[in-house]
Chain A
Amino acid sequence: EVHLVASGGGLVQPGGSPRLSCVTSGFTFRSFEMHWVRQAPGKGLEWVSQISISGSSINYADSVKGRFTISRDNAKNSLYLQMNSVRVEDTAVYYCAGSGHRGGFEYWGQGTLVTVSS
């Protein structure tokens, strides 16, 4: 059975630097591109970042470029998102998701809520 367990969310002050983790099991992590997707309360889905299988190719949404860093550890089947200089508008549930041969995001975690507030 496939599991993606995201953690690291919580209440953070503006300007803070939370680090999100996503531990996976049940599928061949090293064969999947991985993504972070967020959803602000009551809003739609927003793609945040993508990392290739080897980690050599990385993309970010303009809204987080220069502030967030995605990384992965294939030996630990884990995905990370280092968030720096967070803003109130970064408040959202952050999902990790995996993309395989189907091209779409076929595996999703349960999400971790990051609340940026003073």
Chain B
Amino acid sequence: SYELTQPPSMSVSPGQTARITCSGDALPKQYVYWYQQKSGQAPVLVIYKDSERPSWIPERFSGSSSGTTVTLTISGVRAEDEGDFYCQSTDSSGTWVFGGGTKLTVL
């Protein structure tokens, strides 16, 4: 089955830049979506179609793609950005898959 691979965790200091990667063989052909989930809450869409940002998401969140890897970048990280981040994509059969998630800790 189709898999998306993320680093399990990363930590950054406030004001630094966090880059969370997601790798998958089909990513050159399929869009990727990114979600942030804070403790005890439902996920929130932060990036859609690789690099588009919903109007309700701060400009410090951005997305990019290169080959089989996509990257969520958070510039000028704030304490409130802490949480779990998941990438998501679909395959040609119409099923969806999430990456394993990356726990972002703001030191």
Chain A binder among B14-22, B65-73, B92-100: B92-100
Within the assembled complex, what's the spacing in Å between the Cα atoms of A61 and B1?
Answer: 10
Interface size class of A (residues with CB under 8 A): 20 to 34
B48 touches A45 (CB 8 A): no
Taking CB atoms and an 8 Å cut-off, the chain A residues in 15-72 that contact chain B are 35, 37, 44-47, 50, 57, 59-62
B100, A44: Cβ atoms under 8 Å? yes
Assess the B86–A57 pair: CB atoms within 8 A.
no
Cross-chain contact B96 with A35 (CB below 8 angstroms): yes
Chain A residues whose C-beta falls within 8 Å of the C-beta of B88 in the assembled complex: 45, 47, 104-105
Instruction: Indicate which residue in A50, A95, A102, A109 contacts B96 across the interface (CB closer than 8 Å).
Output: A50
Does B43 touch A at the CB level, under 8 Å? yes
Q: How many A-B residue pairs have CB under 8 A?
A: 63
Q: Contacts A44-B86, A44-B100: A105 and B45 contacting too (C-beta < 8 A)?
A: yes
Q: Is A9 an interface residue (CB 8 A)?
A: no
Interface pair A103/B98, CB less than 8 Å apart: no
Given the known inter-chain contacts A45-B86, A59-B93, A62-B1, please indicate yes or no for A102 contacting B98, CB distance below 8 A.
no
Question: Provided the pairs A44-B100, A46-B98 are in contact, do residues A102 and B52 lie with their beta carbons within 8 angstroms?
Answer: yes
Q: Does B61 contact A (CB under 8 A)?
A: no
In the complex, A1→B44 CA distance in Å?
A: 15
A13 CB within 8 Å of chain B: no
